[in-house]
Amino acid sequence: MANWQHCPAVERASGQDGGLWMFKGTDVPLYHLYERLADGGTVDDFATRHGVDVEMAAAALEYEADELHDYRLDYAGRVPFARNIDPAHLRPDNTLWGNCPLVEQAEGRLGGAWVFKHSRLALYVLHYHLAGGRTLDEFDEWYGMDTSKAVAVLQHEAKVLERAQPAHADIV
């Protein structure tokens, strides 16, 4: 999961929302974006439906893609590329992806990036694709990845964010 505390598009809600990540200046939780995308919607659909600036929604996805791209393993199992990680927590982020059966991380594959299981297709590609306003059907067409796998990954991400899990930098 991205270290959301550094994302300019979201902020941690306080009080009754249980610390959910929300789009700045709104009462819209970040997990709603992932739910909408999993339902086959686009960033534009989400923005229109929830009254969130489309650029802000796209920026959140791009931020996540950047974090996924940078969060790779070197051959010693460390994360030398991550920009926003707390140095005390240099380890794979198993909070979000470690219990998702459709993804894996291996030192010898794409520099240790999180990928769809049994493939060389990195998760950050999905996030960049969706941030550009494209659909899951286009993702399937362009990358040959079964849409149901992308849907399941987005649903997994939405569930974790809905549970108000902390950003990996917050984990002790």
pLDDT in tens, 46-96: 999 999 999 999 999 999 998 887 765 544 455 555 455 454 444 445 556
Contact (Cβ atoms closer than 8 angstroms) between residue 151 and residue 136: yes
**Residue 97: which pLDDT band, with cuts at 50, 70 and 90?**
confident
Q: How many helices (H) and strands (E) does the chain have?
A: 6, 4
Count of residues for the chain? Answer: 172
d(CA 151, CA 136) in angstroms, rounded, equals 8
* Cα 132–chain centre separation: 14
